[in-house]
Amino acid sequence: MRYRQRREALPGMPNSKKTPTIQDVARFAKVSTATVSRALSRPERVSEHTRARISEAVRLTGYTLNQAARSLRQKSTRTILVALPDIGNTFFSAILDAIERAAALRGYGVLVVNRLAGDDSGRRLHEYFLSNRADGLLLLDGSLTLEQMLVLTSEPANVPLVMACETLPGAPFHTVRTDNTYAAELATRHLIGLGHRRIGHIRGPTCNVLTLERETGFRAALRASGLPLRPEWLFAGGFEMAHGLAAAEQFVALAEQPGAVFCANDETAIGFMSGLRRHGLECPRDVSVVGFDDLAVAAHIWPPLTTMRQPREALGRLAAEALIELIEGKPGGRMPQHSVLSAELIVRGSTAPAPLMVAPSAAAQ
Amino acid sequence: MRYRQRREALPGMPNSKKTPTIQDVARFAKVSTATVSRALSRPERVSEHTRARISEAVRLTGYTLNQAARSLRQKSTRTILVALPDIGNTFFSAILDAIERAAALRGYGVLVVNRLAGDDSGRRLHEYFLSNRADGLLLLDGSLTLEQMLVLTSEPANVPLVMACETLPGAPFHTVRTDNTYAAELATRHLIGLGHRRIGHIRGPTCNVLTLERETGFRAALRASGLPLRPEWLFAGGFEMAHGLAAAEQFVALAEQPGAVFCANDETAIGFMSGLRRHGLECPRDVSVVGFDDLAVAAHIWPPLTTMRQPREALGRLAAEALIELIEGKPGGRMPQHSVLSAELIVRGSTAPAPLMVAPSAAAQ
């Protein structure tokens, strides 16, 4: 599996062997240690400006990866807690399989918590670790705020934390993720290569890092080929079939319809194709469709779905290994490492060359 | 939601208010209390015959539902542990949603453990409860043995336990399940009602209670209509798409093919239809297909899948409520209660009337 790794240089603390303390954070942020402590445990009591400065200082000092304090924790549970955004999306089952296998090799069991969205989920996670129910957290759910994560990784919980898939850019944790931007660019280039000129996109949920990255890659591919993107060709979405269905309703109402659509994930693509069918449109005859994920079902629906296959086995394995190194206080665990893996284009029956008759109208745009 | 509930009468202890003790179990099984204790903690050290007698005595006395001993446990965690057989099957996500909602209403969080198969899963579960990581176990995975469950529910762990979906017949626990036998009978009757006479079945995994129940219902419907079941029309299966694909390979090699197939679940049906397509067979033109579960994707594939919709919301909610009553020592929690819910036939495009030309050959059988 191809991937690249980099270590972040920490300005002001290059290659420091010293374990960063709360005093270091306070010095960097130019506030008192009491303020740092308050910002970490009760962020709502600190101004947004101060919180931002402290978050930045935490990031720069690497404070949250401090393993020294973890020795104060009660005892090892040999358990990893994995937070998934939605167990209903089978994308995660292959990742969880890989996590479970990697964890078992090191003698760890895996507990799963589903969907952190909701006011008290950060608090509940915090309680899980204060009551010593797992040794570390593998966060595949990007819905926690940076503050909630910093509360987890600071005193008194000191949770070893690794983010995977839905990572927060710039967060001071190990991350393992797919290069979503580039993968979306490849998916879009595939459609362009088939001669499509009117290409639409169904987005993921708002405020989700994957949505942003995939849309960025989509736009980059269009720009590089000098293709237009009409605002009405960018459909509001989500990651569920219902969102694809809703997008199909908008699609069929358009005066000029795209001849190809890149969907933010496979579930959306499946719902979209189903919705098109209800209006007598056939894929790929009328519209070519590309998904993202390569769910197990993608090869078995009709037409089989062209999609970007995420390296799920590697995502799960690398994330689990990074977390266990962190839990066990290996030297490599100290500095945030970012693994970025590549997705692979899988061409199936849902995409086809643009019909020739489309060319004049596309040329006229 | 329609469902029926019954309480088991306990011979020798009708309506007893007295909390059953290990002495009661020993008396029923006609062994010493030391033997009962050994059978529960180290079942491999007791002969199979003795184990069977003790299991029966445990069931009759209701010993495992004894809540008195639970007061010895350390403290409440306000957490339910849910054991799922396969988070990759989206059948479970709607159930988990309902469990999470019902639990949240009572102030409980939910942790999930995936796939108990494997030698040490019983031991690991036991450790989770001994180290007080949850208050009770909701078991949707039928792969634990009765002995493993009795170890969990006995001293020292005393785990409140409810089984749902994959229940063990006769086990002395609360159970919440779908009437799989009757549902399979309805699914098969639907095919018979369409005029099909040559009907096959793709089974679930071996040694699974759902496999047995669904095959029983399938056979009952054929028998009631006087239809033949050739051995080669009963396909080995599993609950995954790969099993449906493999069954399709066997199917196309048959000299005389069934005109309709009832699949043990939707995943199998999706893989089966995909496999038929690879050989140029179309559903429902050449073969009518019925699934079981009504996964979210079932309505969106082509052709949309006719299937039995399980009452997932009710399954999850009733199971969570029963477990919380057990955890909190409500009087209703003492005696094993068995909720049996009905599944509903959802007719979609994957089933169609048997072609007329089939009738003479079917009549000739």
> Residue A63 has what pLDDT?
63
pLDDT for A271-320, tens place per residue? 999 999 999 999 999 999 999 999 999 999 999 999 999 999 999 999 99
Contacts of B107 in chain A (CB under 8 A): none
For B145, the token pair is 């043995």
User: From residue B206, how far is each of A304, B138, B203, B306 by CA, in Å?
Assistant: 30, 23, 8, 24
> Residue B154 has what pLDDT?
87
> Residue B139 has what pLDDT?
95
Structural domains of chain B sorted by starting position, each given as residue range(s) with its CATH number in brackets: 2-48 (no CATH), 76-177+312-340 (3.40.50.2300), 180-311+346-355 (3.40.50.2300)
User: Which of B115, B270, B299 is nearest residue A300 as measured by Cβ atoms?
Assistant: B270
Residue A52 has pLDDT above 90, yes or no: no
Per-residue model confidence as pLDDT tens for chain B (365 residues): 333 433 333 344 434 445 567 778 888 888 887 787 667 655 667 787 887 788 778 767 766 433 333 433 446 889 999 999 888 888 898 899 999 999 999 999 999 998 876 667 788 888 889 888 899 999 998 888 888 888 899 888 899 999 999 988 777 899 999 999 999 999 999 999 999 999 999 999 998 899 999 999 999 999 999 999 999 999 999 999 999 999 999 999 999 999 999 999 999 999 999 999 999 999 999 999 999 999 999 999 999 999 999 999 999 999 999 999 999 987 555 678 899 999 999 999 999 999 975 444 444 44
What's the burial of B5, exposed, middle or buried (CB within 10 Å: 0-12/13-18/19+)?
exposed
Phi-psi sector, A266: left (phi>0), alpha (psi -120 to 50), beta: alpha
Report the sign of the C-alpha dihedral through residues B199, B205, B210, B212, in that order: positive
What is the distance between the alpha carbons of residues B151 and B167, in angstroms, rounded to a whole number? Answer: 17
User: From residue B341, how far is each of A291, B307, B310 by CA, in Å?
Assistant: 37, 16, 8
- The answer to whether residues B163 and B198 touch, using CB atoms and an 8 Å cutoff, is no
pLDDT for A102-156, tens place per residue? 999 999 999 999 887 666 778 888 888 988 889 999 999 888 888 888 889 988 8
For B245, the token pair is 């694909």
Question: Which alpha helices (DSSP H) does A156-198 contain, by range?
Answer: 180-193
Amino acid in the structure at residue B278: R
Question: Which alpha helices (DSSP H) does chain B contain, by range?
Answer: 22-29, 33-41, 48-61, 91-105, 121-130, 146-153, 180-193, 209-224, 241-252, 266-278, 312-327, 358-364
User: Which of A112, A245, A302 is nearest residue B301 as measured by Cβ atoms?
Assistant: A302
CB contact under 8 A, A94 and B88: yes
> Residue B130 has what pLDDT?
87
> Residue A17 has what pLDDT?
46
- The answer to whether residues B121 and B89 touch, using CB atoms and an 8 Å cutoff, is no
Chain A contacts in chain B segment 320-339 (CB below 8 A): none
Average pLDDT over residues A224-249: 96
C-alpha distance from B216 to closest chain A C-alpha (Å) = 28
Average pLDDT over residues A187-196: 98
User: Long-range contacts for B171-174 (Cβ within 8 Å, ≥24 apart)?
Assistant: B171/B59, B171/B146, B171/B336, B172/B58, B172/B59, B172/B62, B172/B63, B172/B64, B172/B65, B172/B336, B173/B64, B173/B65, B173/B149, B173/B336, B174/B65, B174/B319, B174/B322, B174/B323, B174/B326, B174/B333, B174/B336, B174/B337, B174/B338
Among all chains, which residue has been given the structure tokens 């459909």?
A235
CB contact under 8 A, B274 and A110: no
- The answer to whether residues A323 and A80 touch, using CB atoms and an 8 Å cutoff, is yes
User: Which of B77, B114, B300 is nearest residue A241 as measured by Cβ atoms?
Assistant: B300
CB contact under 8 A, B110 and A113: yes
- What residues have CB less than 8 Å from A243, skipping those under 6 apart? A202, A236, A237, A267, A268, A271
Contacts of A81 in chain B (CB under 8 A): 111
CB contact under 8 A, A113 and B109: yes
- The answer to whether residues B119 and B63 touch, using CB atoms and an 8 Å cutoff, is no
What is the distance between the alpha carbons of residues A261 and B204, in angstroms, rounded to a whole number? Answer: 37
- Would the pTM of this model clear 0.90, i.e. be above it? no
Half-sphere exposure of A61 (CA within 13 A, CB side): 23
> Residue A117 has what pLDDT?
63
> Residue B75 has what pLDDT?
67
Looking at the predicted complex, does its ipTM rise above 0.85? no
CB contact under 8 A, B88 and A86: no
User: Long-range contacts for B15-19 (Cβ within 8 Å, ≥24 apart)?
Assistant: B19/B66, B19/B67, B19/B68
Q: How many CB atoms lie within 10 A of CB B287?
A: 24
Q: How far is CA B112 from the centre of its chain?
A: 17
Residue A208 has pLDDT above 60, yes or no: yes
> Residue A232 has what pLDDT?
97
